Amino acid sequence: MTSKQILTGTVILLLVLLNGVITSSRAAAQEALNSYQQAFILITDQGEQNLYLAKPHSLEVELATFAIDGYFIQAAASPDGRWIALITGLEQQSRLELYNPGTGEVREVIPPLADYYFDQYTPVSWSNDGQYLAYTAARRNLHDYTYVYTISTDEHLEIAINGDYGSAVGLTWSPDSTMLTIETVTCEASRFVSCFTNIAVLNPSRFDPYSNAGGVALTGRLEGSGACDVNWSPDGRYLSFNFECNYARLYFHEIFVLDVELQTLTQLTSFTTPYPGVWTEIGYQNGYDSIWINETTLVSGVQTARGDGPFIPETMSARIMSYELPSASSQILMDAVFGRNWDINPVDDLLTFNALDLSVDQSGQFIQDEFPVLVAQYDNGQLNVLHTIPNGCQPEWSPDGEVLSYFIPSWTEGYEYYECSWPTDIAFLHDDAAESAVVTLPPYADFKPIGWVATPNYRPTSNAGADQIVQTASGTAAITLDGSVSSDSDGHIINYIWTEADNVIAAGATPQVSFPVGVHTLILTVMDDDGATAADEVTITVQAEASSATATSTPTRTNTPTPTPSATPTPTALITNVTAANGKAYTRDVLNVGSTVYIDRTYTYTALPPELVGRDYIRTAIEDRQLTTIDFLTFTLTADAEVYVLWDSRFVIPNWLRGWTNTGLTVTATDATGSLVRRVYRRSYPAGTVSLSGNGLSQGVMYNVTVVPTA
């Protein structure tokens, strides 16, 4: 590790404080919005481009009101989720627009510059308080111009003319939204083209360009060399970046940290010999991905290898490191793992990242079968893993820290690997859940993720019905609870949970529960499609009927009601010969609210779509959920019918179910967590034998099957 005083040289770092124009986000904090969705753009085979919003609670995908006029180029959501900056093109023209998903407002951002254009390389960066948008407008064969646009006043501030520093390739805001880095690339032509990158940190007092005295660490002028991956520490004192970035190969040689306060530069890594910037016949292909987890600790995924072209397999290594400032001391947090795509929870500081088990084959090509996602806590030099997701891309916490989103990659047949660029589903892991909920994406030809956006949401109204007093001669009374009058003014209710003394006793709008003699105080908690909740209280009093032989005793209160067993009506003859490959005796029943879900659990259905009420269904076994046997469940249809599979909504559907139609219907039933939603898939079958493969889930629940005769 080396520490060097800032001197004169080729990498430029200029400090320009934006006082008087840009104020601190700490002094102008925005009121938090309480509904967040994941935004993305899907492009169809026909070229149609639409902006969608996926809701993490109701698992619904909605089409946004913003219409893309022309073709999509790029987009960026503000950190608070209130705005999306979108660059689109039409007939050799391009424009920058802002869209507010909450209000539907659209405004065009027009720089005070003639003959400008935007493209996929245009840097666009939101300030952390969401009040300012920094962007660069390019001019053909002329200098680029960097501006800061103020949302509240619709005004532009010209920050830099980038001719002195090259073409802008990146913009990064300080945590308090008062300083901005501009990362630029400059290319020179002699016998061949040589390019390098500079970082400019803008402040009113320009101090001189610098490098280290010996011209070793920061004088690199190799093709593609320079600085990239700029990150501020949370207090704005330190600025980390990778130096000797090779944009052609996307590999970076070393990590440096600038102490903005003391104007000193520290080299954190030394995997390259000699230092970067000095030409050598030995090729180094190192990769880093870093995140500041507190004011003085930088955590970085580190991948190192040798080779000018393909990797030399025996030189390949990966690890996750932590670096402490100002001492620059380091330690290994995880070995043989490359950590990347880092994000930190804004509330409890939990880290999430892809933990890649990188290796190379004998030809020097990467081997990466899956993309595990880890949720971990950094504590006193230790990285403690709290949750593991087997396969996911681009993990990202919602701005309120309550939901972790990620994309489930598609499997590429023939090449035998997962592809993050074309995901099949969006998954949401809620902070109080052990497993993720999954939303299947509509069909598309190209996928463009944007990030979390915010819309206003008003709480639903919970109505637990009128208090009830009943008498019983048997010691218990079956009571129908009624929360059907509950409502949501700007959406719909997706969940009804009934509790007594914090114990879940039922789910659904109108469940039937058996109560013993006593006074029972129940709480109905409802949740709307945006995750907001409301509660109401109802009192159920069960009295023993008076007897001539025995005086009526004073009612007593109990907190543990006994569930009423579901009725077993006689099903029709539409389903016969039900056989499970493992020999278990699956049974037939008639589907109604209160019907039992499994042969090995007492879980019951609490909410059903009208299309399925009263239909024949197969009661399976939850313990068979992990089986993957082909033709695991077989049965005979005595007539043509629509077969419906009720699938655990938290998990991606198996390959055998991918040809089925997602009906958009959902079924709710009780389970170990209180309540669970199942998605409903449909396929038409003629009379005869139907064979379904195994469930294939190590967690979650087993599917169920119901049938409806073809009209």
582 DSSP β-pair partners: none
Residue 594 in domain:
yes
H helix or E strand, kind and range, residue 105: none
Residue 698 in domain:
yes
636 and 689 together in one domain: yes
Residue 585 in domain:
yes
Domain span including residue 535:
468-544
589 and 522 together in one domain: no
581 and 516 together in one domain: no
pLDDT at 431: 77
CA dihedral sign, ordered 451, 454, 455, 460: positive
592 and 682 together in one domain: yes
589 and 694 together in one domain: yes
538 and 622 together in one domain: no
502 and 624 together in one domain: no
Looking at residue 310, its amino acid is P
- 349, 337, 351, 338: which is closest to 385 by C-alpha? 351
579 and 540 together in one domain: no
Place of tokens 């997602």: 662
For the chain, 711 residues long, the average pLDDT of each consecutive 10-residue run is 30 36 33 74 90 91 88 92 92 89 92 85 90 87 82 85 65 87 69 57 40 27 59 92 66 81 83 57 77 95 79 82 94 92 92 84 65 91 90 93 92 72 90 80 90 90 92 90 91 90 87 92 91 91 72 41 50 92 93 92 90 93 88 94 91 79 88 82 93 83 94 72
Residue 661 in domain:
yes
If one counts the domains in the chain, the total is: 2
> Which of 544, 563, 598 represents a domain boundary (last residue)?
544
> Which of 544, 563, 584 represents a domain boundary (last residue)?
544
533 and 605 together in one domain: no
The 8-class DSSP code of residue 306 comes to B
Nearest-angstrom CA–CA distance, 385 and 339: 13
> Which of 500, 521, 544 represents a domain boundary (last residue)?
544
pTM exceeding the 0.85 threshold for the entire prediction: no
Per the structure block, which two tokens stand in for 130? Answer: 């969401």
Tens-place pLDDT, residues 215-237: 222 323 334 456 778 899 999 99
Calculate the alpha carbon distances from 554 to 539, 541, 546 in Å: 17, 12, 11
Residue 551 in domain:
no
Per the structure block, which two tokens stand in for 184? Answer: 């630029």
Residue 63 in domain:
no
579 and 705 together in one domain: yes
Nearest-angstrom CA–CA distance, 254 and 711: 69
Residue 684 in domain:
yes
Q: Degrees (nearest 5) of the Cα angle 534, 539, 544?
A: 155
| CATH code of the domain containing 517 | 2.60.40.10
pLDDT at 208: 31
Residue 703 in domain:
yes
Cβ 138 vs Cβ 122: under 8 Å: yes
Look at strands 124-126 and 468-472 and give their pairing. unpaired
Nearest-angstrom CA–CA distance, 590 and 619: 10
Per the structure block, which two tokens stand in for 63? Answer: 């089409």
Nearest-angstrom CA–CA distance, 29 and 533: 25
587 and 526 together in one domain: no
% of residues, the chain, pLDDT over 70: 79
584 and 495 together in one domain: no
CA dihedral sign, ordered 166, 171, 175, 176: positive
Calculate the alpha carbon distances from 394 to 228, 405, 406 in Å: 20, 8, 5
Q: For 83, phi and psi rounded to 5 degrees? A: -135, 150
Nearest-angstrom CA–CA distance, 441 and 146: 37
